[in-house]
Amino acid sequence: SDNACNEHIVMLPMMAQGHLIPFLGLAKQINQTSGIEVTIVSTPLNINYLNSTISKDSTQSSSSAKINLVALHFKSEEHGLPPNCENTEAIPLHQIALIFHASAFLEVPFRSFLQDLIAKDGKAPLCIVSDVFMGWANEVAKCFGTINVTFSTGGAYGTAAYASIWQHLPHRLTDKDEFNVPGFPDSCYFHISQLHKFIRDADGTDIWSRFFQPQIANSLKSFGFLVNTVEEIEPLGLDILRKYVNMPVWCIGPLLPSTMLLDQSGSTIIGQRTGRVPGVSPEKCIQWLDNHSGCSVLYISFGSQNTVSPSQMMALAMGLEESGQPFIWVIRPPFGYDLRGEFKPEWLPEGFEKRVAEKKQGLLVHRWAPQLEILCHKSTGAFLTHCGWNSVMESLSQGVPLIGWPLAAEQGYNSKMLVENMEVCIVLAKGVQSNLDKEDVKRVISIVMDKGGKGGEMKKNAVKIGELIRSSMKNDVGGKKGSSLQAMDDFVSTLLSLKNREA
Ligand code: UDP
């Protein structure tokens, strides 16, 4: 509406790949559906990164018209970080807590940015959409006469579990322990192995609790929650989240390029969405997939910043090769080594890469793959994933079932929900500490890739969920708007009516 076109929304993502991409998707979605101008602010390097993503994005370039990217003052050296370290991927794993804590240093430049913006626009922005990890934005919004809406880049179930588990420390559990989580049904047991190691020893005084506890608590004081999920696919998780946060929750996902949502597998989309140079061209990947039969290829990737241990990598490689299953594996140095360093052949069985290439069994992609293109291809049959929420949504939107290997953050809770509630996933391993046996790799692959039995059921469930995900973004589903488009309208009209009441 004309009303909306004069409005402005400011966004504040966490400085992490898996957060920046969905924030940009959300900005586009808001701008496209309502005409509201959106400004994303972050550190200079992250803004550069988003800039290159927008300019390379051939699938949605026309929609980036009213999205501004603004760099706030941030120098990593001023905050005890290595130079040019402005994002969770840029920092050695043992120092990663530092960048989380450093995110709070954006508050001062963010306040002066808002001051200038208000002077220019002549009024406060309609709202600030901030990351769950930028809970301090809630207080800032109040100071400047606007409201804060928290955007969770995770799913409903994972977000609720993550918040509640951090808010109910400590979890002094032994290796066998199962436990209940406040806010979840009594019949729902979590297992110690689903907890990331940061949280197992956390007691409220350690470096991780001191970051997550206040950020989550402050996020829970915001006006509402936007979640990158779909109303119909996570009924249990949404019920829990709504009760837990006790505020409006709008499911506006999936934040994917619209071309992915038009039809199911088989469509070839070549669109650089991530601003990165893949280790192999999308065209070569598609060509490789074209030479394999339908649903026969296993795609393996652990997201943008995780990796597995050297012995796990070795076992995975041996299991893969012996399984005979075709695969595309996004490969990077194992845990304990510099992720951006050279890949050493001794991390894999001798002659592995050459052998699987000659047999046309496997394609190794170093560092970064065109994931969306791969998941959209009809030859892709399953995805071995760390269960990062973006990967989960991308896979399910294409009806591709999962093999789970949660490694960090809320991934253990995502995989639990994918196994128990959606029934689209089998867990192969958890974390980097566990031993992986190549026989388990072979066993799990044969279950998931089997077109009958359990694999067939998982595929059927994934296809059903894929249909729900794609419908949520359609303008007309049996005479009604898809649920995510409707939720976006509801979100915008709620904000506008708040503003009108004030005026
Ligand atoms: N991604 C990609 N190529 C890769 C690895 C990751 O395009 O080789 C993209 C993937 O499509 C997803 C994002 O990076 O959109 C990873 O987000 P996710 O939430 O799955 O995991 P995170 O990186 O946050 O752990």
DSSP string, 104-118: GGGHHHHHHHHHHHH
Cβ contacts of residue 332 below 8 Å, gap of 6+?
Answer: 307, 339, 343, 366, 367
Residue 267: predicted pLDDT: 45
Residue 88: predicted pLDDT: 87
- ipTM exceeding 0.90? yes
Closest protein CA for atom 17 of ligand 1: 18
The 10 Å Cβ neighbour count of residue 273 is 23
Closest protein CA for atom 24 of ligand 1: 18
Q: Please work out whether the CB of residue 395 comes within 6 Å of at least one atom of ligand 1.
A: no
Q: What's the rounded mean pLDDT across residues 27-53?
A: 93
262 band by pLDDT with thresholds 50, 70 and 90:
low
Ligand 1 centroid to residue 114 C-alpha, Å: 31
Q: Rounded to 10 degrees, what is the CA torsion of 87, 93, 95, 96? A: 40
Question: In the predicted model, is pLDDT for residue 240 greater than 70?
Answer: yes
320 band by pLDDT with thresholds 50, 70 and 90:
very high
Per residue in 363-373, pLDDT tens?
999 988 999 89
More confident residue, 501 or 177: 177
Query: Quick check: 279 and 363 in contact, CB under 8 A?
Result: no
Ligand 1 centroid to residue 303 C-alpha, Å: 4
| Separation between Cα atoms, residue 449 and residue 296, nearest integer Å | 7
Question: In the predicted model, is pLDDT for residue 61 greater than 90?
Answer: no
Closest protein CA for atom 23 of ligand 1: 304
Q: Which of 329-338, 424-433, 494-503 has the lowest mean pLDDT?
A: 494-503
Instruction: Among 371, 392, 393, name the best residue to mutate to test ligand 1's pocket (greatest count of ligand atoms within 8 A of Cβ).
Output: 371
Collapse the DSSP code of 151 into the 3-class scheme (helix H, G, I; strand E, B; otherwise coil) and give the result: strand
| Separation between Cα atoms, residue 289 and residue 360, nearest integer Å | 10
Per residue in 182-225, pLDDT tens?
999 999 999 999 999 889 989 999 999 999 999 999 999 999 99
Q: Which atom of ligand 1 is nearest to the CA of 371?
A: 7
273 band by pLDDT with thresholds 50, 70 and 90:
low
Instruction: Among 17, 89, 299, 405, name the best residue to mutate to test ligand 1's pocket (greatest count of ligand atoms within 8 A of Cβ).
Output: 17
Q: What's the rounded mean pLDDT across residues 262-279?
A: 55
Collapse the DSSP code of 370 into the 3-class scheme (helix H, G, I; strand E, B; otherwise coil) and give the result: coil
65 band by pLDDT with thresholds 50, 70 and 90:
low
Cis peptide before 185 (omega within 30 of 0): no
Ligand 1 centroid to residue 304 C-alpha, Å: 5
* Arithmetic mean of pLDDT over the chain: 92
Question: In the predicted model, is pLDDT for residue 270 greater than 60?
Answer: no
Residue 80: predicted pLDDT: 87
Q: What's the rounded mean pLDDT across residues 156-161?
A: 98
Q: Which of 42-51, 168-177, 254-263 has the lowest mean pLDDT?
A: 254-263
| Separation between Cα atoms, residue 381 and residue 295, nearest integer Å | 4
Strand ranges (E), 5-110 = 8-12, 37-42, 67-71
Query: Quick check: 22 and 255 in contact, CB under 8 A?
Result: yes
Residue 467: predicted pLDDT: 96
Q: Which of 238-242, 304-308, 492-496 has the lowest mean pLDDT?
A: 304-308
274 band by pLDDT with thresholds 50, 70 and 90:
low
Q: What's the rounded mean pLDDT across residues 285-300?
A: 97
Amino acid at 198: F
Q: Given the DSSP bridges, would you call strands 178-179 and 190-191 parallel, antiparallel or unpaired?
A: antiparallel
Residue 22: predicted pLDDT: 92
Question: In the predicted model, is pLDDT for residue 24 greater than 70?
Answer: yes
More confident residue, 234 or 63: 234
Q: Please work out whether the CB of residue 330 comes within 6 Å of at least one atom of ligand 1.
A: yes
Q: Please work out whether the CB of residue 87 comes within 6 Å of at least one atom of ligand 1.
A: no
| Separation between Cα atoms, residue 359 and residue 337, nearest integer Å | 30
Q: Please work out whether the CB of residue 394 comes within 6 Å of at least one atom of ligand 1.
A: yes
| Separation between Cα atoms, residue 374 and residue 379, nearest integer Å | 9
Q: Please work out whether the CB of residue 153 comes within 6 Å of at least one atom of ligand 1.
A: no
Amino acid at 340: R
Question: In the predicted model, is pLDDT for residue 442 greater than 70?
Answer: yes
More confident residue, 55 or 128: 128
Query: Quick check: 255 and 25 in contact, CB under 8 A?
Result: yes
| Separation between Cα atoms, residue 279 and residue 353, nearest integer Å | 14
Q: What's the rounded mean pLDDT across residues 67-73?
A: 96
Question: In the predicted model, is pLDDT for residue 263 greater than 80?
Answer: no
Token digits for 327? 């695969």
Q: Please work out whether the CB of residue 388 comes within 6 Å of at least one atom of ligand 1.
A: yes
| Separation between Cα atoms, residue 105 and residue 134, nearest integer Å | 11
The 10 Å Cβ neighbour count of residue 71 is 17
Q: Which atom of ligand 1 is nearest to the CA of 394?
A: 11
Cβ contacts of residue 120 below 8 Å, gap of 6+?
Answer: none
Residue 57: predicted pLDDT: 60
Query: Quick check: 238 and 160 in contact, CB under 8 A?
Result: no
Q: Please work out whether the CB of residue 306 comes within 6 Å of at least one atom of ligand 1.
A: yes
Question: In the predicted model, is pLDDT for residue 60 greater than 70?
Answer: no
2 band by pLDDT with thresholds 50, 70 and 90:
low
| Separation between Cα atoms, residue 231 and residue 252, nearest integer Å | 8
| Separation between Cα atoms, residue 236 and residue 197, nearest integer Å | 26
Question: In the predicted model, is pLDDT for residue 264 greater than 50?
Answer: no
More confident residue, 453 or 280: 453
Token digits for 113? 């940015």
Alpha carbon distances (Å) from 324 to 161, 312, 317, 356: 38, 19, 11, 9
Residue 275: predicted pLDDT: 60
| Separation between Cα atoms, residue 252 and residue 472, nearest integer Å | 9
Question: In the predicted model, is pLDDT for residue 276 greater than 80?
Answer: no
| Separation between Cα atoms, residue 159 and residue 131, nearest integer Å | 12
Whose structure tokens read 């998707």?
A: 25
Whose structure tokens read 């360093």?
A: 341
More confident residue, 3 or 26: 26
Q: Which atom of ligand 1 is nearest to the CA of 16?
A: 24
The 10 Å Cβ neighbour count of residue 463 is 17
Q: What's the rounded mean pLDDT across residues 284-313?
A: 96
Q: Please work out whether the CB of residue 390 comes within 6 Å of at least one atom of ligand 1.
A: yes
